Every structure is written in structure tokens, then in C-alpha cells.
Amino acid sequence: RTKVVIGGIPVERLSAGEWCEQLLSDWRAIGSGHGRPKVVTTANGQVVSLFATDPVYRKAVLAADHVAADGMSVVKASRWRGREAIPERVSTTDWFHDAARAASEHGLKFYMIGATEEANERAVARVREMYPKLQVVGRRNGYFKDEEIPAIAEQVAASGADVLWLAVGNPRQVVVAHRFKTLLPRVTWVRTCGGLFDFLAG
Ligand code: UDP
């Protein structure tokens, strides 16, 4: 089995490298007209706790196509399952760099939504500096109303983005990720990313 259930959440048993392979194969599938966009989110202690208490959030997490083990507590819990253990913690702030390198090499385009305007702008500038070959085709802050989502999705679609990095705070970001996925048939992944922009902005 490829997943292990932790606190009710089916978490993928993938290493950082395998996550990159998954992204690339999903991207190729979309490119050849066979694939469907995915919501990819993460689990850590906070997520497990919210999942237990917030039914809307629970439904959104269960509807995600993949869940990555972002927190060490989730990896440790999986070790009780012996051979079903998750191979390693894949924190978004680390894995983002793996994804950025893979995207630079293969030509996947990133769109980055989340955090305050200042943090988002600074984070994207840092990313462009670190990965000059990476195509970051759009960015915006993470403060918008549900009614604005269709207009924002139109901009994302027009940019030709392959990966939409989305950080608008939990629990809302997983629900919003599904709305974007529905509106973006050519995007490979809507990937929730929590505090990534603040982390990158430093
Ligand atoms: N955030 C956002 N829009 C919102 C709420 C939060 O862009 O409406 C951003 C916030 O600026 C931060 C990230 O989402 O960069 C994570 O926010 P927070 O720490 O509140 O959420 P958590 O870490 O608990 O998911």
C-alpha cells in the first residue's frame, strides 16, 4: 500500500525524491491530455488536530488527491506500523527547493499565492534569485474573499501555470485549493504550502 492512515488522514509513504517523480509524471499526464489536476496538501500535528474537530476541513482533506507528511509527529506515528512507515519527513519548506530544481530543469511553471503582499513579493524575488531558470509566471497575496476566486483563477489559467502554490492559512487553504482545482483544468497541482512564503521571505 502506498498510504498509511494517521489520525484518520491517508498520508502518502513517499520520499522527497519520489514526490518530485510524482509531480513530473502528473505534469506529463496533463500535458498528454490524460491527467487531471490534483490538490496536494500536507499533514502535521496541527492538521491532525483540526481534522478531528472541523468537519468542513476534514471533508476537504479527505478529498485531497495526495497528503504529504510535513510533520515529524506524523512520521513518528507511522513508525508504529512497522513496514508501512513513511520513509521521511517531507517538509514543504525543504521540498519546495526540490520542486523548484525539478521545475527549472523540466520547464514547469509556478504561480505563487499567499501571505501578505510584502512577504509574497519578497519570497518570490528570493525564489527568482535562487532559481534563475525557474518560470514563476505569477504571484499575489493570500488575502482575498471567496468571491474573488474565479477572477484570480482566470489569471492563473492565463499564465499557463503548472503548479499553484497556495498559502492562505488553515483550515481555509485546503477548501480554497479545491475551488481552484475545479476552475483550473490545465494546472497539474494546487499545492498548499502554509508558512512557505514567510519562511522564504526570511
Ligand atoms: N494567510 C493568507 N491569507 C489569509 C490567512 C493567512 O495569506 O487569509 C497566510 C499568512 O500570511 C501566512 C500563512 O497564510 O503566510 C499561514 O498563516 P497562519 O500562520 O495564520 O496559518 P497556519 O500556519 O496556522 O496554517
Q: How far is CA 81 from CA 9, 10, 168, in A?
A: 14, 13, 33
Cell of 73: 509527529
pLDDT band at 108 (very low <50, low <70, confident <90, very high): very high
pLDDT tens track for 8-28: 999 999 999 999 999 999 999
> 59: which residues sit within 8 A by CB, 6+ positions away?
none
pLDDT tens track for 32-69: 999 999 999 999 999 999 999 999 999 999 999 999 99
Q: What is the mean pLDDT of residues 117-141?
A: 98
Q: What does the pLDDT read at residue 1?
A: 72
Q: Rounded distance, CA 42 to CA 86, Å?
A: 13
pLDDT tens track for 147-201: 999 999 999 999 999 999 999 999 999 999 999 999 999 999 999 999 999 999 9
Q: Rounded distance, CA 88 to CA 125, Å?
A: 29
pLDDT tens track for 95-105: 999 999 999 99
Q: Which one of 139, 168, 172, 197 would you pick to mutate in the ligand 1 pocket, going by the greatest count of ligand atoms within 8 A of its CB?
A: 168
Ligand 1 centre distance from Cα of residue 149 (Å): 17
Q: Rounded distance, CA 28 to CA 46, Å?
A: 33
The number of the ligand 1 atom at minimal distance from the alpha carbon of 141 is: 7
Ligand 1 centre distance from Cα of residue 172 (Å): 9
How would you label 69-97 residue by residue, b for 16+ Cβ within 10 Å and e otherwise? bbbebbbebbeeeeeeebebbbbbeebbe
Ligand 1 centre distance from Cα of residue 57 (Å): 15
pTM for this prediction: 0.97
pLDDT band at 121 (very low <50, low <70, confident <90, very high): very high
